[in-house]
Amino acid sequence: MKVFEWKIRKAKAISKKKKLLISFACDDLNYRDHIMRQSWAHAYEIVEIPPKKNTSKQAWQTQCSNLINKCDGAIVLIGPTTHLAEKARNEIRLIHRSNLPVIGIEINQAHAAQVPRELRDVFVMRWNWDRFEGFVHMI
């Protein structure tokens, strides 16, 4: 009976999709879309923080923190303007406060982008599916 229960628990753990928060600059929307499309066929679900609309900064931060706390990890897409994108930088600060595992991904293979200072203590890599999948399986 115990072996059977173990197999059921293992199957449930394997079938559970990990939830990853994605943070990006608006200029990098196409890369976000590409990752979202790939997630449908893989063992992870991508979620993003909704834009701050008609809410106060405090209400937006609370909403973001609640969403972050439901995630297993976070990825930050690093493009040419990410270090200037205030929304992405605010999201990174909130991710750090939650102690969520995070990885930075430089989306341009040919040129290294300036990494936002909020990611100075985070592993940053150039885009690579195998390493990305390794991060997902690690968390």
Q: What is the pLDDT of residues 68-117, one digit of tens each?
A: 999 999 999 999 999 999 989 999 999 999 989 999 999 887 677 889 99
| Segment 7-57, tens digit of pLDDT | 445 555 555 789 999 999 999 988 888 888 877 777 788 898 887 777 888
Looking at the domain assignment, is residue 2 inside a domain? no
Tell me whether residue 7 is in a domain.
no
Residue 102 covered by a domain: yes
The total number of structural domains in the chain stands at 1
β strands within the chain, DSSP E: 18-23, 44-48, 73-78, 102-106, 124-126
The reply to whether 43 falls in a domain is yes
Range of the domain at 38: 17-138
| Torsion sign (Cα): 120, 126, 128, 130 | negative
